[in-house]
Structure 1
């Protein structure tokens, strides 16, 4: 008899046999969502985190890489590449955006993606990297292997979202992005987050 259980999307699924070149992604939010969903760390179920405050709609599929964590290794990598005022990782799985030409209408799904770069985001002193990836075999984006191959407007659209999605009009900016990096560094961030995961959850 097959046991009736659901694997925890953070702890019960691997980052992928080919990680960091190709990674598993658990998608929490899709571009049509006006609610920010987030995996509940205790139960593994998708929960409502908050309604989107304004017209900030995520321009790509958004989720995390299983069995990753952002703590000392991710923070140290940010410091090594010149990040200022960063004191720790954000204590969450590594975030990832996946570009696809397909209209995927709901989250709570798994997919394979190829990391092509990322943003070194600092959120109130915490290293909160955002990996940018493309859906494996996507007809429009699937051939891209580095963020430098994307149109600048696509990169700017993603940058604008992350620089503004937490802000109220009357408040100063809460986050900063000092570095847009390519595929080579993205893979280093993924490996660092896997090491942080092992150090914290696989002892």
Structure 2
């Protein structure tokens, strides 16, 4: 295991809920900046911060606008966001999260897609068998990547698998997924096309004729997003509200452990989990035709 732990604040399923990550010594860290992009476990192994466990609906993400970048639930028009269950999918169909120390630069037009980045860390769909807890830092093997176009922005979706998953030894590149898990990649494309349609939005589109690119391509995209993050941290790219505070990088944005704990302590104590909305388990039916 990675040795990271979490500290929750506020009541789960409330606007105040926050989840902070701590390292193996108990020191608070930034979920975005302090956790290395690559794991010490070996070549080609990346760290993934799990934002949304498989089968759940709460749209949790790393909060770039708050100190230490905790996980929080996305809010729209003052209400917590939950993804709809678009038949036959229930919630998210993989463990969903992000690779730390990556950033999709909204000022950079991607040469492959002709679209700018979405100003977030790069997204990961972990396709293994275990449901990982929110805030887990999981070591994953990258298999490939889809290029989703979301409201005119490039939103890369990296496909990966937990290195400890029983299937991991048989999955080394994107073409292995169809052999071992037939139908899974097609279901992934369908999920991303449909998930906003119950809100009245059009289906998302994909570059490359809806097909994923291979592992080498994916690793190059991740590397480019890591370079964009490094420029952000170095002040070469405007932060535009992104909080750069960290506890381990030893740069101008680094803070000490006391200051980091003070950021966490500003939040209310962990409260009772609030009930989910009545309609969170509703089936939604859409047609892509």
Q: TM-score, normalised by structure 1?
A: 0.86
Is 1:30–2:59 an aligned residue pair? no
Three-state SS of the structure 1 residue aligned to 2:168 is coil
Could you list the runs of 5+ residues in structure 2 that have no partner in the other structure?
1-23, 75-80, 236-289
Return the alpha-carbon distance in structure 1 between the equivalents of residues 108 and 95 of structure 2. 22
The aligned residue for residue 165 of structure 1 is 195
Between structure 1 and structure 2, the one with the greater Rg is 2
C-alpha contact (below 8 Å) 1:26/1:109 kept by paired residues: yes
* Distance of 1:137 and 1:102 partners within structure 2: 10
* Residue in structure 2 matched with residue 148 of structure 1 by the alignment: 175
Segments of structure 1 that go 5 or more residues without pairing to the other structure are: none
State TM-score, norm by structure 2.
0.61
Say if 2:196 and 2:202, in contact at 8 Å, map to a contact too.
no
Match among 80, 95, 99 for residue 65 of structure 1? 99
CA contact (8 A) 1:26 1:66 kept: yes
Does the aligned pair in 2 maintain the 1:135–1:142 contact within 8 Å? no
Inter-partner Cα distance in structure 2 for 1:158 and 1:20:
26
Compare 162-171 and 41-50 and name the one that shifted more.
162-171
Question: By how many angstroms is 1:123 displaced?
Answer: 1.1
Task: Tell me what 2:149 maps to.
Answer: 122
| RMSD, aligned α-carbons | 2.4
Per the alignment, residue 165 of structure 2 pairs with 138
Q: Which has the higher strand share?
A: 1
Distance 1:113 1:58 in 2: 18
Q: Is the 8 A contact 1:74 1:127 kept in 2?
A: no
Partners in 1 of 2:70 and 2:168 — Cα distance? Answer: 30
How many residues are aligned here? 194
